[in-house]
Structure 1
Amino acid sequence: MTASMAWLVDPSVILPFLLAVSLIELTPGPNMGWLALVSMHQGRLAGLAAVAGITLGLAVWMVAAAFGLTSVLLVFPWLYQAVRWAGVLFLLWLAWEAWAGAGKATSGASHDPEKLRGLFLRGLTGNLLNPKAAVFYVALLPTFIRPDHGVPLIQALTLGGLHLGVSIIVHSLIVLGAATAGGVMMRRMQGLWAGRTMAIGIAGVAIWMAWATRG
C-alpha cells in the first residue's frame, strides 16, 4: 500500500475541494440571509442555535447523497419541486409568524432554551426543505472521489465532513458579524417595527429561495 492509500481520500483533492466549497459557502444564499436576520434580531446565541440546525440538515443531505439516496430528486423532478416549494412555504410561514408576533416580545439576544430549540428546529427544517443542498452533494462529491484510491462511500463521507466544517466556520462568522453590526440598529427598533422588519426580511429570503432553487 502506498503512502497516499493510507489517507481516507486522495490528498491531492483536499485543497481544491476546500477551495471549491469555501467559494460556494461564501456565495450569498437563503441560509446566509436568514442567519443574518436571526442574528441581527435576536443575537449571537440565537444565530449559533440556527447554525446548529442548518448544519444538521446539511449532514442529513450529505449522508443521504453518500448512500445515493438523493439522486431520486434528479430522477423525479416533481419531487424536487415539491421539496422546493415546501421550503418556500415554510419560510413564508416563518415570515407570517414574525409579523403576527411583532410587538408581543422584545427583540434582542435571548438565552431561553425553548427559543433556542425553536431556532435550531427552524434551521434544520429549512435546510431539509432546500433541495439545492442535495443537488450540491450529488453534483460536487463525485468529481473529487477517486475510485482507485479507496472505498467511495468513505471518501464521500470524509469530503462531506470537510464541507460541514467549512460551512460551520462561514455561518458562524456571518452570525458574529451580523449580531455585532446589527445590534445597535435592532435595539433602536424595539417592539412592533423590529418584528415587522424581521418578517419582511424572511419573506424576502423566501422569494430568494424560490429563485435560487428553480432548477
Structure 2
Amino acid sequence: MSLEFLLTSLVVVATPGTGALYTIAAGLSRGARAGYVAAIGCTLGIVPHMVAAITGLAALLHTSATAFQILKYLGVAYLLYMAWSTLRDKGALAAPEDAAPRSAARVILSAVLINILNPKLTLFFFAFLPQFVAPGEPEALPRMIELSAVFMLLTLVVFAAYGKFAAAVRHRVISHPPVLTWMRRVFAAAFAALGAKLAFV
C-alpha cells in the first residue's frame, strides 16, 4: 500500500461533500449514534461505485452520455429534495433528548442514496484505482478490491469523526433557536449548491 494512495484517498475523503454534510447534519440532529450510522451508510454507498469500476460498468458510464446524464440528474433531484426537506423540517436539528431515535435503516438508506446517486464517485474510481495497479498485474482484481476496502475504511473513520464532532457541539447549537434557523438554511443551501454543481458536471 503506497503512501501516495493513502494521502490522496485521505484528501478526497476529508474534503467536505454530500456524504460529509449528511453525516454532520445527522450528528447535530440526533447525536453521535446517528452520526456513526450515517457514516456507515455513506461508506456502504461506495460499494456500488467500487463494483462498477471493478467490473467495467464505469467504462459504460464514461462512454455513454445518456447513462451518465440519467444517473447525474437522479443525483441532482435527490440533493434538491434533501435541501427542501431540510428547510421545511423545523424540528430536524432540534430533536429533544427523549425523542425516539430515527430508524437506523432510514438513516443508512438516505446516506446510501446520497452516495449511490453521485456519478462522480464512479468516475473517481474509474480514474483513480487503475493508477495504483500495474498494467498486466496478474492479481489486479484482488489489488483493486484491497485498495477500495482501504478507501472505504478511511471514509468510515473520517465521517465518523465528522459525526462525533457534530454531536459534541450539538447541545450548544440546539439551545439557541436563531442558530438552528440559520443552520437549517445553511444545510439546505449547501445541498442545493451541491446539486447545482453536480448538474453542471
> Fold conserved (TM > 0.5)?
yes
Are the structure 2 counterparts of residues 56 and 110 from structure 1 closer, same or farther at C-alpha, using a change threshold of 3 Å?
Answer: farther
Of 41, 56, 59 in structure 2, the residue corresponding to residue 71 of structure 1 is: 59
Once the two structures are superposed, the pairs formed by residues 16-165 of structure 1 within 5 Å of their partners are 16-103=4-91, 106-108=94-96, 112=100, 114-165=102-153
Question: Which stretch shifts more, 156-165 or 113-122?
Answer: 113-122
What is the aligned partner in structure 1 of residue 188 from structure 2?
202
Contact 2:79/2:194, CA 8 A, preserved across alignment? no
TM-score of the superposed pair, with normalisation by structure 1:
0.81
Any gaps of 5 or more consecutive residues in structure 2?
none
- Please report how far the alpha carbon of residue 196 of structure 1 lies from its aligned counterpart in structure 2 after TM superposition: 7.7
**3-state SS of the aligned residue for 1:70?**
helix
Distance in 2 (CA, whole Å) between partners of 1:104 and 1:201 is 11
CA 1:119–1:108: 2 relative to 1, 3 Å: farther
Query: Cα–Cα, structure 1 residues 60 and 101, in superposed 2: closer, same or farther, change >3 Å?
Result: same
Give secondary structure in 2 for the equivalent of 1:161.
helix
Q: Which runs of structure 1 show a deviation greater than 6 angstroms over 4 or more consecutive aligned residues?
A: none
2:161 to 162, 165, 173: 173
User: Are the equivalent residues in 1 in contact too, given 2:41–2:108 (CA < 8 A)?
Assistant: yes
Q: Return 5+ residue gaps in structure 1 as ranges.
A: 1-12
Structure with greater Cα Rg: 1
Please provide the CA RMSD for this pair.
2.6
Per-residue Cα deviation, 1:123-175 (whole angstroms, up to 9, x for no partner): 01111100111011001000000134432111111110111011111111111
Amino acid at match of 1:147: P
Q: What's the CA shift for 1:99?
A: 3.6
Query: In 2, Cα distance between the equivalents of 1:111 and 1:18?
Result: 40
